[in-house]
Amino acid sequence: MGHKARIVEVLHRAETGPIMEEEKFERELIAPTVKELIKKYDIKYDDKVVVNSDDDMADRIFQAGLDLAEATGMFCQSTSRRIVWSREELLEGLRHAPAEVVMGAGVDAVTAKARVPDDDARVVVAGGAYGVPVPEDMYVPMSLSYLKEGVIDVVDNPSLESVYGYPVKAGSPWEVLAARREAELALQAANIAGRPGICLGCVELSATALGGLAGVSYGGYRPTDWLHAPIMSELKTNYEMLSIVTHSIRTGTLLEAYYNPIYGGYVGGGEGIAIAVVGGLILLNQCHPGHTYNTRPNHPFFNCDTTPEMIWAIGLGVQGLTRNTNLLVDTLVGPAGGPGTKTMLYENAAFVAATTVSGQSLMTSCHSSSGGATPRHASGLDSKICGEVTRAVRGMKRDEINEIVKQITPKYVDDLDKNPIGKPFEEVYDIDKVEPTPEWQGMYDEVKEELIQLGLPLDRLV
Partner 1 sequence: MKQNPRLIDVLYRAETGPIMDEADFERGLLGPEIKKLAQKYDIRYTGEEIINCNDDLADRVFQAALDLAGEVGVFNQSTSRRILWSREEIENDLKSVPSVASLGNGEQQFLITSRKPDDRKSMSVLGGVVGIPFPEDMYLPLVLSFLKQGIFDSIDGPSLETAYGQPIKAGTGFEVLGAWREAELVQEALEAADQPGRAVSAVELAPTALGGLAGVTWGGYRPFDRHHVPMTSELKTNNDLLAIITHINNLGGVIGAYYNPIYGGHAGGGEGVAILAAAGLILSYQLTLGHTFCTRPTHPFLGCDTTREILWATSLATQALSRNSNLMTAALAGPAGGPGTKTIIYENAAFALMALSSGVSELLASHSAGGAVPRHGSGLDGRICVEIARTMQGITREEANHLLEKIVPLYESDLESKPIGKPFEEVYDLESVEPTAEWQGIYDQVRSELFELGLPLDHFDSAGSK
Residues that bind partner 1 (CB under 8 A): 7-8, 10-12, 14-15, 78, 164, 166, 169, 171-177, 180-181, 184, 209-210, 213-214, 216-220, 222-223, 239, 242-243, 245-247, 250-253
CB of 393 vs partner 1, minimal distance in Å: 37
Element (H, E) at 101: strand 100-103
- Given the complex with partner 1, which of 97 and 203 has the nearer CB atom? 203
Element (H, E) at 59: helix 55-72
CB of 256 vs partner 1, minimal distance in Å: 17
- Given the complex with partner 1, which of 63 and 238 has the nearer CB atom? 238
CB of 174 vs partner 1, minimal distance in Å: 6
CB of 259 vs partner 1, minimal distance in Å: 18
Write out the DSSP string of 211-262. HHHHHSSTTSS-TTSEEEEEEBTTTEE-HHHHHHHHHHHHHT-EEEEEE-PB
- Given the complex with partner 1, which of 190 and 318 has the nearer CB atom? 190
- Given the complex with partner 1, which of 283 and 316 has the nearer CB atom? 283
Instruction: Count the neighbouring beta carbons within 10 Å of the beta carbon of residue 119.
Output: 19
Write out the DSSP string of 411-457. GTGGGGGG------HHHHEETTTTEE-HHHHHHHHHHHHHHHHHT--
- Given the complex with partner 1, which of 208 and 360 has the nearer CB atom? 208
- Given the complex with partner 1, which of 167 and 442 has the nearer CB atom? 167
CB 164 within 8 A of CB 137: no
Classify 142 as helix, strand or coil: helix
CB 292 within 8 A of CB 332: no
- Given the complex with partner 1, which of 54 and 184 has the nearer CB atom? 184
CB of 6 vs partner 1, minimal distance in Å: 12
CB of 8 vs partner 1, minimal distance in Å: 5
CB of 197 vs partner 1, minimal distance in Å: 15
Q: How far apart are the first and last CA of the chain?
A: 41
CB of 167 vs partner 1, minimal distance in Å: 10
- Given the complex with partner 1, which of 239 and 437 has the nearer CB atom? 239
Which residue pairs, CB below 8 angstroms and at least 24 apart, start in 9-15? 10/83, 10/242, 10/245, 10/286, 10/287, 10/289, 11/242, 11/246, 13/81, 13/83, 13/84, 14/76, 14/78, 14/79, 14/81, 14/83, 14/237, 14/239, 14/242, 15/79, 15/81
